Structure 1
C-alpha cells in the first residue's frame, strides 16, 4: 500500500498501537483481512523485561524487537495517531487512513524505567545504559511505590548489586494493592525482608526529591512521619496513565474521567459498531497486564471476522480471576494464581503438586506459587521468547 498525504485507500482494519495487544490482534487479523498497524516507535518494546534490561546489560537489547516480520499481508506504519473518529485515523504526518474497522490498542504511559519514554530504540537503549551506570555507583536507592513495579525493580537491583540499600515508600496500607490474598502479600514481604529491602507503608515524602527520577545525586528527604531518608538515586514506581487523548467525535463519549474507555462485552466502544478497544485503555475491572491485553486480541479478531462475514452473534470477553506473576529478581518472587490448575495441562499440574510436596510447600494450597516456580514461569526468561516468536523475530 502506498501512503501519502491526504486520504488513503480505504483499509479494512486500522490497529492503533503496536504494544502487546496491538501486535497480537494485528497478527490474528492479518490471516484474513487487510490491516494497517500504526505505531510511532521504531521497534516493539518488551516492557515485561524492562527492569531486567535496566540492571543487566545483557538484557537491554532483548527489550527491542523489530516489527518487520510481524505481518505477511498487512502493513506496519511508523507514525502517531493524533485523531481517531469512528471511521478514520489521522496521523502526525498529516496522513488520514479511512478504516472499515478500528482497533484502539494504545496502552498506557508509565514512568521510566518500567517503560521507555522515547520512540527511538537507540535513544532508549542509551538511557537504560546511562541509568545503569548511575545505579551501579549508588549505595542507597529510594523507590516510591510498593506496587508490582516497585517490588520488581527492588528485586532486580538487589540481584545485580546485593550490597545496595533499598527503601520502598508507599502511602497505601499494603503492598501490591488489588484483589490478591493476604498470604500472597505475606510471602512477598517475607522474601523482601530476607533480601534486606525495607518497605515503609502508610506515609509519603513531604516534598519531591530535589533530583530528577533515575538521576544520580545524593539527597535527604523527609517522610510525613518525620523520619529522614538519604538516597543516592530514586525512581517513581507509580502513575500509569491510559493513552486515549486522541479520541474525537462520537468516540469521546466512551472516555471516562480517568481516561479509560467504556467497552461492551464484545470489546466495542460503547455506542460504536466498528470501533474496538483492548488492553490498558479499557475500563474493564481486571489487572492491566500484558497477558490481559493479549487475551483481548482473539475476541476482537473473531468479532471483526464475524462482522466482515455479514454479522451474527459476537463473542463476549470474560475477565479471569485476579492473578499475577511477580518476580523479585531472576530467582525470587511469588505468583498469585488461585485457579492455576485450570490454566495448565494435567501433566504440568501433577509436576507442580509433586514439586510442592517434596519441598513441604504449603503455599500451593492457597493458590500461591513460590520463588522457584515463579522463576520458572517468568523470572528467569521474562517471556522474551514468547513475544519474539509472536513477532517472528525469534
Structure 2
C-alpha cells in the first residue's frame, strides 16, 4: 500500500513539496483557491494589465499521480484533515503549508480567480485616475508597489509613510537601504519615517476618495487613494488537539530543525506559518519544501538521518519596477560559479561595481534577477503551464 501525504495549502511551498513527493506517495493537495496565485508578481498585476491574468496558473497539471482537492481545511489533527465540505481525509503524513493573509493588492484576498482578476482591473482603473497616492508601510511591499506605480504613471505623486525609523526592516545593511532611498529619491517617491496617521483614512484601501491625513508629526498629507502595505497574518487557526500547542502568540508555529511540529513524527510545517526568524519569502518556502520532501521520502523508504533546515543569511531581491531596485545578498558569491560571477561583474556599471563590494546588487542586476520577469517562468514550469498561460 502506498503512503498518503496530505499537503494543506497550494502556495509556493505547498506545490513544491507536493510535486517532489508525487512519485513515491499518494499526494492529496488541499487548496480552496481555483488556481495558484503568483503573489510575487501581484503588484505588477495591479498596475500592468498584461500581467493580471498571468498571476493565476491552474493546478490541474501539477501532479501525475496525486489529487488536488478544492476545499478548505477547517480542522487538522495528527492523522487527518477535515474539510469545509465535511469530508475527512486520513493521512500518513501531513504538511501544513497554508501561508498567510495580506492586504490587497499584494494578495488577491479571494478564492475565485475570476473575481480576483476583476478586482485588480477595477482597482487599476481607479488608481489610474488618482493623482496622489498614499502607501502605508515602508517594507518591501510598500517600496515595490511604489516602484510599480511610478513605472506605470510617471506623473503621480507617491508618498510612503511608516512609523519605523528605517525602510525595509530586518537584518539588512544600512548601505542597502541607502541605495534604495537613493533610487526612491531619483524616482520622486517621498518617504516619511518615524510617524503615522493620527486616524485611519475615511475611505477603504484602493477606493477613490480625496482626503487629507494628519500625521502624529503634525504634517498633513493629501491623497486621492491609499493602500495598506503591512499586516501579514499566518493562517493556522485550523489546528486541533495536540497540534494546537505549536501555535504561538500571533499564529506562527514552532517547528523543529527538521521542520516537524514539536512532538509530532508525521506533521510538518513550512513557509510563512513557521516561527523561524527569517524573511517570509517564496524562495524560503520552497527551501522548506525541499527539506520536508527529503524527510518524508526517507521515512517512506525506511532509511537515512533526518535532513535539517538551516536558515541562510538575510537576503532579499527588491525590484522598484522592471528596471530599478536593489538586492541584498551577503553570500552571493557562494551561490554562483566563476563564469556567472564574472558575468555579474561585467554587467555591473561603475556604481554597481562599488555596490558589489558591499554585497549589494544594483538596479541592472536586480532587474535581470527578478524585476523584468518576476520569476514567473519557474513557477509556470513547476505547474507545467506554458509561460503566461492561466
Normalising by structure 1, what TM-score? 0.96
Q: CA deviation at 1:311?
A: 4.6
SS at match of 1:51: helix
Q: Determine whether 1:278 maps to 2:270.
A: yes
Name which of 200, 215, 235 aligns with 1:223: 215
Name which of 114, 117, 130 aligns with 2:122: 130
Partner of 1:361: 353
CA separation in 2, counterparts of 1:267 and 1:360?
Answer: 38
Structure 1: runs of 5+ lacking an equivalent: 1-8
Q: CA deviation at 1:308?
A: 1.2
Q: CA deviation at 1:213?
A: 0.5
Native 8 Å contact 1:296 1:317 kept in 2 = yes
Change (3 A) 1:353 1:103: same
Native 8 Å contact 1:11 1:97 kept in 2 = no
Query: In the TM superposition, what are the counterparts of 1:191-340 in structure 2 within 5 Å?
Result: 191-340=183-332
CA separation in 1, counterparts of 2:245 and 2:373?
Answer: 41
Native 8 Å contact 1:11 1:98 kept in 2 = no
CA separation in 2, counterparts of 1:10 and 1:304?
Answer: 13
Native 8 Å contact 1:334 1:370 kept in 2 = yes
SS at match of 2:168: coil
SS at match of 1:61: helix
Q: CA deviation at 1:310?
A: 2.6
The runs of 4+ residues in structure 1 deviating greater than 6 Å are: none
Q: Determine whether 1:18 maps to 2:20.
A: no
Q: CA deviation at 1:312?
A: 3.8
Structure 2: runs of 5+ lacking an equivalent: none
Q: Determine whether 1:42 maps to 2:31.
A: no
Q: Determine whether 1:30 maps to 2:22.
A: yes
Native 8 Å contact 2:103 2:231 kept in 1 = yes
SS at match of 1:366: coil
SS at match of 1:362: helix
Partner of 1:341: 333
CA separation in 1, counterparts of 2:221 and 2:374?
Answer: 32
CA separation in 2, counterparts of 1:293 and 1:342?
Answer: 21
Q: CA deviation at 1:358?
A: 5.7
SS at match of 1:295: helix
CA separation in 2, counterparts of 1:360 and 1:375?
Answer: 13
The total of aligned residue pairs comes to: 386
Native 8 Å contact 1:83 1:90 kept in 2 = yes
CA separation in 2, counterparts of 1:203 and 1:210?
Answer: 19
Q: CA deviation at 1:353?
A: 1.7
RMSD of the alignment, in Å?
1.2
Q: CA deviation at 1:110?
A: 0.2
Q: CA deviation at 1:343?
A: 1.5
Partner of 2:176: 184
Partner of 1:92: 84
CA separation in 1, counterparts of 2:225 and 2:351?
Answer: 39
Partner of 1:6: none
Normalising by structure 2, what TM-score? 0.97
